[in-house]
Amino acid sequence: MKINNVKVIVTNPGRNYVTVKIETDQGIYGVGDATLNGRELAVAKTIEEYLAPIIIGKNPDNIEHIWQYIYRGAYWRGGPVFMTALAGIDMALWDIKGKKAGLPVYSLLGGKCRDKALCYTHVSGQSFKEVKDNALKKIDEGYKALRVQVSIPGLDGTYGTVEDDAKELPFVEKWDSKPYLNTIPQLFEYLKSEIDDDIHLIHDSHERLTISEAVKLAKRLEKYDLLFLEDLLKPENKDGFNFIKNNSAMPLAMGELFNSRWDAVKLITEKLIDYIRCDVSHIGGITEAKKIAHLAETFQVKTAWHGPADISPIAHMANLHLDFSTPNFGIQELAEFPKEVAEVFTGQPEFEDGYLKISDKPGLGCDIDEEKAAKYSYQKAYLPVAERLDGSVHDW
């Protein structure tokens, strides 16, 4: 079997998605997600100009070799654009391998370790009451784990509480650590008496804190028994996690801004986090994710792969195949897609009573309808930026 064509499909059914479709001389094709929110066309161009030409003619069965050839062969390696391009190709190759074998990808990864995968979704609100009401709705739908975010008084557009993808220029959020550090513990104190103890709660700090602020937040939230506190520090500041771990018993998660296993090594091997939550679409795909998961297993770190709506259902299916075949799986993030997404992508993780199910369809179990995709053309969209009250730049 040989790769004879590589297509890049950019579509916007409610938001932008980039899909790689790899076709073979035997009629089997595979699809992969190569969406990098706000930088979609940079990835599309990387695949079309640089990666497609060098894999045409290769045997798609040799995924590891093709991965190494792309990653190391380019000399210039890594970074979000390149690793997302590589991820799209990698996922499509796993899809082909599964279809060729007549097996779901989880089977090729070692088979099922579980019958269902625990998942969490997002709830937010402008007030504590609104967060609680939204949480109770999700609990009614069956969710057993929720990520909760609330607007911070005095700060416009707090992360996780607004529709934030601006079209022409980035949307600007305000940031100040003090009101944030005061408000979040109050939110959990309020939720404690409103939400059943059995529901797992998560909060995402979105890489905005200094080390001391992170310790303060972790200590203040310790008594609320969170499943984990996510992304306290910038991805550059891995040493800072030593200090947090030595000063608090809070379970920590990190990884959505990582681009490879090398970013994750220190946090895993020094047991500085409890959950590794890289994005399968931004770390070079299933091939790299399984290596990270195996490393994490040795150090009793669980997986919680990134699962926002800004990566396509193909990536969500890739997450699921990893979740089912990974012994040290922890939890899967599941965000709601714009409704048009289901027209373009067939096959999404199926939710039932707080868990995700997986089918035994060969490959990844997700496809793209190219005609429908063509109805929704790309629209430029930026991620927001954050600024402090004095107008200086902060991490979003």
Name the β-bridge partners of 3. Answer: 24
> Residue 77: helix, strand or coil by DSSP?
coil
DSSP state of 50: I
**Binds ligand GCO by CB under 6 A, chosen from 90, 95, 256, 323:** 256
Nearer of residues 9 and 278 to Mg ion, judged by Cβ: 278
Q: How far is CA 373 from CA 8, 156, 356, 368, in A?
A: 12, 35, 26, 7
d(CA 80, CA 17): 15
Of positions 37, 158, 259, 328, contacts ligand GCO by CB under 6 A = 37
Count of residues binding Mg ion (CB under 5 A)?
Answer: 1
Q: DSSP string of 29-97?
A: EEEEE---TT-HHHHHHIIIIIIHHHHTTS-TT-HHHHHHHHHHHTSS--SHHHHHHHHHHHHHHHHHH
Residues 204 and 45: their CA atoms lie apart, in Å, by: 32
Q: Is 245 in the site for ligand GCO (CB under 6 A)?
A: no
Nearer to Mg ion, 204 or 323 (CB): 204
When binding is defined by CB under 6 A, the residue of 90, 310, 323, 367 that contacts ligand GCO is 310
Is 204 an interacting residue with respect to Mg ion (CB under 5 A)? yes
- Residue 147 Cβ, how far from Mg ion at the closest point, in Å? 8
Q: Which of 14, 179, 185, 308 binds ligand GCO (CB under 6 A)?
A: 308
Sign of the CA dihedral 382, 386, 392, 393?
negative
263 binds Mg ion (CB under 5 A): no
**In the complex, what is the shortest distance from the CB of residue 346 to ligand GCO, in angstroms, rounded to a whole number?**
23
Least spacing, CB of residue 278 vs ligand GCO, in Å:
12
Structure tokens belonging to residue 88: 């799209």
Pair of tokens at residue 163: 């529709």
- Contacted by 384, from Mg ion, ligand GCO, none: CB < 5 to 8 Å by type: none
Q: Residues 310-349 vs Mg ion: string with x where CB under 5 A?
A: ----------------------------------------
Which residue number has the CB closest to Mg ion? 204
Q: Which of residues 181-240 bind ligand GCO (CB under 6 A)?
A: 204, 206
Q: Which is nearer to ligand GCO, 21 or 306 (CB)?
A: 306
Query: Is residue 376 annotated as part of the catalytic site, yes or no?
Result: no
Residue 207 touches which member of ligand GCO, Mg ion, none, C-beta under 5-8 Å by kind = none
| Minimum distance, C-beta of residue 369 to Mg ion, in the bound complex (Å) | 30
Nearer to ligand GCO, 290 or 306 (CB): 306
Residue 308 site contact among ligand GCO, Mg ion, none (CB < 5 to 8 Å, cut-off depends on kind): ligand GCO
Collapsed DSSP state (helix, strand, coil) of residue 107: helix
- The whole-angstrom separation of Cα 95 and Cα 22 is 9
C-beta of 216: minimal distance to Mg ion in Å? 20
Q: Which stretch binds ligand GCO (CB under 6 A): 54-62, 94-102, 126-134, 305-313?
A: 305-313
| Helix, strand, or coil (residue 119) | strand
Catalytic residue among 120, 159, 180, 275: 159
End-to-end CA gap in the chain? 45
In contact, 323 and 305? CB cutoff 8 Å: yes
Q: Which two tokens stand for residue 61?
A: 């069965």
Burial 177-214 (b: 16+ CB within 10 A, else e): bebbbebbbebbebbeeebeeebbbbbbbbbbbebebb
Contacts of 160 (CB under 8 A, 6+ apart): 122, 124, 147, 149, 204, 206
The verdict on whether 316 is a catalytic residue reads no
Q: Which residues bind ligand GCO (CB under 6 A)?
A: 37, 204, 206, 256, 306, 308, 310, 333, 383
Positions touching Mg ion (CB under 5 A) are 204
Q: Which residues are catalytic?
A: 159, 206
